[in-house]
Amino acid sequence: MKIGIVCYPSIGGSGLVATELAVQLADLGHQVHVISYSTPFKLPDFKANLSFHAVDPINYPLFNQNLYTFSLTTKIMEVAEEYELDIVHAHYSIPHSLCAHLAREISNNKFGVVTTLHGTDVTIVGKDKPLYRINQFGIEQSDCVTTVSRFQQKSIIEDFHIKNCVDVVYNFIDTNRFKPVCDAQLVERYKLVNSAEKILMHISNFREPKNVEAVIETFYRVQKKFNCKLVLVGEGPDLQKIKLRCRELQICHNVHYLGKMESVQAVVPLADCLIQPSKVESFGMVLLEAMACSVPTVSSNVDGIPEVIVDNETGFMHDPNDYESMAESVLKIFNDENLAKELGGNGRKRAIEHFSYQTIVPQYIEIYEKALRKQV
Ligand code: GMT
């Protein structure tokens, strides 16, 4: 198949999933064209069957508003015509899905449109009044719509009152890249902690839904009882607030900030426990990354997280603001090596069995075939 993949290029779940999907589809022999405003961070420089098309900005003094929607539509149309695309797969509805529909209307080449809703495009952006109707239109016009958890499927159907079917295709991971710690990585671990200390890790974009205050409050309780360090990976608007809180609690000496990282597979396996207390989370890619690396997790129990994590089996789940229980669970993991090993092992097994690319990518191919059948 000839497939166009439209996504955001920045570090974040939807761009990551879209890029990994592009790579896997290219490996399977499909011709894949990634379309975005800059090169997605995970896209390989060169790969057979895979090419990248940058959206050209429109710069004319009269247009003081950003016309990204039109420049993206134009690029989708150009790529679709030049490479005779069969499918355009829009990751994140706004504005990608709408642009794909508009491009199809204008284009001489009629392609199928598949939209994957990742979470905030529905839960936060989608419910926003000015965007609600156009988001609803974008979803309804798609030949196939997918989303990343059953929770999200239910809320899309309820919030948007749409008539078309929404398929759940879970996010996936390459368990050959995300794997348990190896000896070489242990050298890196001992740059962060000494051999008696444990690592509690949090990885996110430090935005409001990630509830990073809960990470700090939980860690504060844990470090009183166990010799450990908090390792924070990522950047975002709440980072400054968090740094301030660490100063107030006088725990700065126990916190490492590693910043934004392209390859978290280098650090995830170093953790003894990964904490993700999100208030909103349609899936939780980082939890899957931890599971694949045999790292036990302590997380919130919201939205799609219970579809990824099995409570008491791969990690522990609590209410997002129940710092006491989260701290107790982290301590349980730190204090009991056998339990940590068991949870980690179960997590890796679950990642391989349910969320490997070998299991999930064929599901997307089936969706493309379904969308193509609607075109004839
Ligand atoms: O989590 C974010 O803020 C980023 C966001 C995105 O669109 O990149 O992530 C969403 O999509 C990911 C990939 O499907 C999911 O794993 C995340 O759970 C989802 N985030 C939210 O629902 C808050």
Look up the CATH number of the domain holding residue 35. 3.40.50.2000
In a domain, 349, yes or no: yes
Q: How far is the CA of 300 from the centre of ligand 1 (A)?
A: 15
Say if residue 346 is in the same domain as residue 360.
no
**Ligand 1, closest atom to CA 119?**
22
CA angle (50 as vertex; 115, 58 as ends), nearest 5: 65
CB atoms within 10 A of CB 79: 24
Residue bearing the CA closest to ligand 1, atom 1? 13
Whether 132 and 151 share a structural domain:
yes
The answer to whether residues 320 and 362 belong to one domain is no
Tally the domains of the chain: 2
Mutating to test ligand 1, I would choose from 285, 287, 360 the residue with most ligand atoms within 8 A of its C-beta, which is 285
Q: Tell how far the Cα of 67 is from the centroid of ligand 1, in angstroms.
A: 25
Handedness of CA 322, 325, 331, 333 (dihedral sign): negative
Contact 301, 318 (CB under 8 A): yes
Ligand 1 touching residue 19 (CB < 6 A): no
Does residue 315 lie within any of the structural domains?
Answer: yes
Domain coverage including residue 188: 183-355
Note the pLDDT of residue 62.
81
Give the nearest ligand 1 atom to 8 CA: 8
Please tell me if the CB atom of residue 276 comes closer than 6 angstroms to any atom of ligand 1.
Answer: no
CA–centroid distance, residue 103 to ligand 1 (Å): 26
d(CA 50, CA 99): 21
The pLDDT of residue 105: 95
Single-letter code of the amino acid located at 129: K
Residues 236 and 130 in one domain: no
Per-residue pLDDT for the chain (376 aa), expressed as one digit of tens each? Answer: 999 999 999 867 899 999 999 999 999 999 999 999 999 988 888 899 999 999 998 887 787 777 899 999 999 999 999 999 999 999 999 899 999 999 999 998 889 999 999 988 887 766 667 888 888 899 999 999 999 999 999 989 888 888 889 999 999 999 999 999 888 888 889 899 999 999 999 999 999 999 999 999 999 999 999 999 999 999 999 999 999 999 999 999 999 999 998 889 999 999 999 999 999 999 999 999 999 999 999 999 999 999 999 999 999 999 999 999 999 999 999 999 999 999 999 999 999 999 999 999 999 999 999 999 988 7
Question: Is the domain of 46 the same as that of 82?
Answer: yes
pTM of the model: 0.95
* Residue 87 belongs to a domain: yes
Clarify whether residues 142 and 163 are in a common domain. yes
Both 98 and 206 in a single domain? no
**Residue 178 falls inside a structural domain:** no
Nearest protein CA to atom 14 of ligand 1, as residue: 118
| One domain, residues 208 and 163 | no
